[in-house]
Structure 1
C-alpha cells in the first residue's frame, strides 16, 4: 500500500490490490479512517466512508486532497500503469 502523502498527521495512500476501482485514496490519522473517490474530470472528491472523522478533520483532509489533487491523480495513474493497465 503505497503512501502518497504524509501531511498534518494524515497518511494518504492506495492499496496495491484495488485494480478495477475508480480513482480513490484512503486516509488515516489516529482513530480516523476515510476513503474518498476522486473525479479527475470535475476536479471533485466524494466520500466513500468516513469513520471517526469530526468536522474539523473532514475539512482538513479535504483541503489536503484538493491542494494535492494533481499529484495524487498522477500517482494513481502511475500505480495503474505499474499494475499493467
Structure 2
C-alpha cells in the first residue's frame, strides 16, 4: 500500500488491489479511515472522521491532487 503523502497526521495512500476502481485515495488517521475520489474530490467513505476532519482532508487532497493522480497512474501503469 503505497503512501503518497503524510500531512496533519493523516496518511494518504492507496491499495494495490484498487486498480479496477476510478482513481481515489485512502486516508488513515487517529484510527479512522476515509476514501476520496480524485476526479471530483467527493468523499466516498468516511469511517469515523468528523465533518471538520473531512473538510480538512478534502482540502489536502485538492491541494495535492495532481501528485496523487500521478502516483496512481505511475503505480497502476
Q: Provide TM-score, normalisation by structure 2.
A: 0.93
The equivalent of 1:7 in structure 2 is: 7
CA-based RMSD: 0.9
Unaligned runs of 5+ residues in structure 1 are none
SS of residue matched to 2:17: coil
Shift in Å, 1:59: 1.1
More helix by share: 2
Aligned to 1:70: 66
Which has the higher Rg, Structure 1 or Structure 2? 1
In 2, the alpha carbon distance for the partners of 1:46 and 1:55 equals 13
Q: Residues 1-50 of structure 1: CA distance to partner in whole angstroms, max 9, x if unpaired?
A: 000001110000010122211101100101221011121xxxx2111110
Equivalent pairs counted in the alignment come to 77
- Structure 2 unaligned spans of 5+: none
Superposition misfits of 4+ residues, deviation over 4 angstroms: none
